Amino acid sequence: MRKLFFLLFAVSSSLTALADVQLTFEDVSSGQAHNLSDYRGKWVVVNYWATWCPPCLEELPELVHFHDEHKDVDAVVVGINMEDLEVDRLGRFLEENLITYPVGVRSSDAQMLGPIPGLPTTYLVSPNGTVVAREVGAITSEGLEEFIDGFDRQARR
């Protein structure tokens, strides 16, 4: 599998200024309201995707694995579906594909973390609420773990 190479935003002041991002959405499966600030103290993987997107479908099991391994410890995954799809239909898709992380639908603030040049696009938000990275294309659980470990090691220096 391809290694994960996130674009670090440390160079771009306009993107690192997004600390305390207020991305809010309603979970399609539970109806529960979510805000990124709900996850303060944890890494948040925000994945923009669509059901018609082959790389998106390829990474779904990776995102589920990462979320299930980390949700009670240090990180969560949040999905934002970017297509005009009936909520019931999307809910069935999530259930059939055993998606365990919260998924919302595109809304007026869906691009609040930055540009979405293609799908899938994944943003990584640090435990303090700062957007630190973006990847356009499929990601892996292992790649996410490697990036977070490397980022944490660098921050401790």
Q: What is the pLDDT of residue 10?
A: 36
Quick: pLDDT tens for 67-81: 999 999 999 999 999
Q: What is the pLDDT of residue 107?
A: 73
To which H or E segment does residue 79 belong? strand 75-81
Q: Is 17's pLDDT higher than 60? A: no
Indicate the CATH number of 7-156 among 3.40.50.2300, 1.20.140.10, 3.40.30.10, 3.30.310.10: 3.40.30.10
Question: Cis ω on the peptide bond leading into residue 115 (within 30° of 0)?
Answer: no
Residue with tokens 């539970």: 30
Residue 36 identity (one-letter amino acid): L
Which of the pair, 23 or 144, is modelled with greater confidence?
A: 144
Mean pLDDT value across the chain: 86
Rounded mean pLDDT of 42-49?
96
Q: Can you give the residue ranges of every domain in the chain? A: 7-156
Q: What is the pLDDT of residue 33?
A: 92
| 99 Cβ contact partners less than 8 Å away, ≥ 6 residues apart | 29, 60, 64, 79
